[in-house]
Chains A and B, each alone.
Chain A
Amino acid sequence: MILLYIDPGFGSLFIQGLVTVAVGITFYFNKVKSVLGIGSKNIEIQDELNEKIEIK
């Protein structure tokens, strides 16, 4: 039996497995996005648009 100093609550222990899977997926997507440069590309496009607006 696990003896713990604080009561972790079954719910907190059970959800942690699921939470870490979900968190792992978001980290994976963020990594893919950064490899593909999706986030930075959006910023570049936005910068280009801003420049065009200023020129007008």
Chain B
Amino acid sequence: MLNSSFRDPDGFVFTDSGIVYRKLSAQYQSVYEQFMSSGLYEKLAEKKWLIPHTLHEKHADNSLIIRPEMLPFISYPYEWSFSQLKDAALLTLNILREALKKGMVLKDASNYNVQFKGSKPIFIDTSSFELYEEGKPWVAYGQFCRHFLAPLALAAYKDVRMMELLRLHIDGIPLDLAASLLPLKTKFNLGIALHIHAHASSVKKYENAEIKNLNKLKSVSLKSSFQLIEHLERTIASLSLTKTKSTWGDYYEDGILSDAYLAEKKDLVHQLIAETQANSVWDIGANNGVFSRIAERHPSVKWTVAMDFDHNAVDNLYLSAKSKTENIIPIVIDLSNPSPRQGWANNERGALLDRPKPQLALALALIHHLRIGNNVPIAMLPDFFSQTTQQYLIIEMVPKSDEKVKKLLTLRKDIFEDYTVENFEKCFGNTFDILKKIAFTHSTRLLYLMAKKNE
């Protein structure tokens, strides 16, 4: 069983010989049949909202094994940008609406039920559906508000970095915490006032309620459920980020050394990717994704992950990749503190470096930030980068003579004696074979193609 798949008694995910399967329990069989025969599955799969699957095995005890389409890379909500989480929220509500039309409902509304297939969100939990009972409130309403609305509202009204709270609270941001952090003006926004402020007060009021009080629950009609969905949709759709100009979001427009350097770099990176014939790429420190796009367009490349710590840069890349239906998964990653293993037994959600590796990693204009910005010694970098790729690494060395490095050192004492081209090559040469070394014509920077040494 996958470590992330133990909570739902109706179905769990496991792998066998590298293939992912989902086992549906015997008691879930009638629900699954309704899901399939009602046309709901067909509709959701046709719209590409739900991961498609095939029936793999039917057992005598009525349990089933289905084989969902596999995704090459799994990302987590605490790694998504604002617009990614917003699209995942709207997808969840769309699916809930379609389910209600077919007499079914979502029994949970976890943001972990959504993944990104390229730049498009897709629902992956086929056993999240159950039969709708007339008048019963939506049991996942609280979870939806914690997992989606609270982080989006905090990002929109307070600071986009508030979304990082999702890493700490894996069952969503507690509503009382969200309510206390949101500014006063949100109490005058009907959507936020109802779904977060009033909701948080109700949770607090009833936290010690006795089970006999369940009889006092107000019935919620089907029509009201549709109105609730639409209201949540409007509330979420109205949220937007106030984007400040960021260094990395506009790096290749404003911050780059020269147009000639950029043109030459694009050309060289394109050529080196072609030499590797890699089928998958991580662009580490991708900024707004100029080089992720070059990788994505290469015929051999099947999937590309673009990572950067700048929320605005990742959000801009996501929105533009989505509009062009590019096969790029952008994620927010701080390399000085990448996503660790976490959740139950430290094993429910994988660390970044435990996930499927690409055949090629790009580390362009990055190592001076790791060495001088984050004080990571050069000798520690090869081991890190060897964990980001199965085979190839294209890495750019930005020497001390470069004006960007000079700027980094303006207010700092130069304690970076190890930061030399010679030492860089010596340290990386222990872990990688240096296949190519190219000097830029319009800069003192160097570009390397390396391959991991056979262990």
Encode contact with A along B2-28: 1 for CB under 8 Å, 0 otherwise.
000001111000000000000000000
Contact of A23 among B203, B216, B218, B224 (CB under 8 A): B224
Encode contact with A along B192-210: 1 for CB under 8 Å, 0 otherwise.
0011001101111111010
What are the residues of chain A within 8 A of B201 when measuring CB–CB? 11
Tell me if A17 and B227 are in contact (CB < 8 A): no
- Is the CB of B399 closer than 8 A to any CB of chain A? no
Least CB distance from B400 to A in Å reads 55
Tell me if A20 and B224 are in contact (CB < 8 A): yes
Using A5-B108, A6-B140 as known contacts, say yes or no to A15 and B228 having CB atoms under 8 A apart: no
- Is the CB of A40 closer than 8 A to any CB of chain B? no
What are the residues of chain A within 8 A of B230 when measuring CB–CB? 27
Chain B residue at minimal CB-CB distance from A5:
B107
Considering only residues 16-53 of chain A, those with a C-beta below 8 Å from chain B are: 16-20, 22-24, 26-27
Chain B residue at minimal CB-CB distance from A11:
B203
- Is the CB of B263 closer than 8 A to any CB of chain A? no
Chain B residue at minimal CB-CB distance from A23:
B231
Contact of B10 among A5, A12, A18 (CB under 8 A): A5
Chain B contacts to A: CB under 8 angstroms: 7-10, 107-108, 137-143, 145, 190, 194-195, 198-199, 201-207, 209, 211, 213-214, 216-221, 224-225, 227-228, 230-231
What are the residues of chain B within 8 A of A20 when measuring CB–CB? 220-221, 224-225, 227-228
Tell me if A11 and B205 are in contact (CB < 8 A): yes
What are the residues of chain B within 8 A of A14 when measuring CB–CB? 202, 205-206, 209, 216-218
Least CB distance from B150 to A in Å reads 12
Least CB distance from B227 to A in Å reads 5
Chain A residue at minimal CB-CB distance from B221:
A20
**A2-B214, A14-B205, A17-B219 provided; 5 other pairs, C-beta below 8 A?**
A6-B139, A8-B139, A11-B142, A13-B137, A23-B227
13 A-B pairs within 8 Å (CB atoms) are namely: A1-B211, A8-B140, A10-B213, A12-B199, A13-B214, A15-B199, A15-B203, A17-B217, A17-B220, A20-B221, A20-B228, A23-B224, A27-B227
Contact of B198 among A2, A4, A18, A26 (CB under 8 A): A18
What are the residues of chain B within 8 A of A26 when measuring CB–CB? 190, 231
Q: When chains A and B are docked, how far (Å) is the Cα of A4 from the Cα of B141?
A: 13
Q: When chains A and B are docked, how far (Å) is the Cα of A29 from the Cα of B142?
A: 26
What are the residues of chain A within 8 A of B8 when measuring CB–CB? 5
What are the residues of chain B within 8 A of A16 when measuring CB–CB? 137-138, 141, 218, 220, 228
Q: When chains A and B are docked, how far (Å) is the Cα of A31 from the Cα of B220?
A: 21
Q: When chains A and B are docked, how far (Å) is the Cα of A17 from the Cα of B211?
A: 17
Q: When chains A and B are docked, how far (Å) is the Cα of A4 from the Cα of B225?
A: 19
What are the residues of chain B within 8 A of A17 when measuring CB–CB? 137, 217-220
Main secondary structure of the interface of A (DSSP, over half): helix
Q: When chains A and B are docked, how far (Å) is the Cα of A47 from the Cα of B411?
A: 55
Q: When chains A and B are docked, how far (Å) is the Cα of A26 from the Cα of B211?
A: 32
Q: When chains A and B are docked, how far (Å) is the Cα of A1 from the Cα of B224?
A: 24
Tell me if B218 and A18 are in contact (CB < 8 A): yes
Listed residue (B142, B219, B228) with the most chain A CB atoms within 10 angstroms of its CB: B142
Q: When chains A and B are docked, how far (Å) is the Cα of A4 from the Cα of B140?
A: 10
Tell me if A10 and B194 are in contact (CB < 8 A): no
Least CB distance from A42 to B in Å reads 19
Task: Name the 4 nearest CB pairs between A and B, nearest first.
Answer: A17-B218, A12-B142, A11-B203, A15-B202
Q: When chains A and B are docked, how far (Å) is the Cα of A25 from the Cα of B8?
A: 36
Least CB distance from B355 to A in Å reads 26
Q: When chains A and B are docked, how far (Å) is the Cα of A17 from the Cα of B217?
A: 8
Q: When chains A and B are docked, how far (Å) is the Cα of A4 from the Cα of B231?
A: 25
Tell me if A19 and B195 are in contact (CB < 8 A): yes
Tell me if B219 and A8 are in contact (CB < 8 A): no
Using A11-B199, A26-B190 as known contacts, say yes or no to A4 and B220 having CB atoms under 8 A apart: no
Contact of A12 among B202, B218, B221 (CB under 8 A): B202
Contact of A8 among B141, B198, B216, B231 (CB under 8 A): B141
What are the residues of chain B within 8 A of A5 when measuring CB–CB? 7-10, 107-108
Using A16-B137, A19-B198, A23-B194 as known contacts, say yes or no to A8 and B142 having CB atoms under 8 A apart: yes
Least CB distance from A21 to B in Å reads 8
Q: When chains A and B are docked, how far (Å) is the Cα of A5 from the Cα of B199?
A: 21
Least CB distance from B230 to A in Å reads 8
Q: When chains A and B are docked, how far (Å) is the Cα of A18 from the Cα of B220?
A: 9
Tell me if A10 and B209 are in contact (CB < 8 A): yes
What are the residues of chain A within 8 A of B107 when measuring CB–CB? 4-6
Least CB distance from B164 to A in Å reads 24
Contact of A11 among B10, B202, B220, B225 (CB under 8 A): B202
Q: When chains A and B are docked, how far (Å) is the Cα of A15 from the Cα of B207?
A: 12
Q: When chains A and B are docked, how far (Å) is the Cα of A20 from the Cα of B213?
A: 19
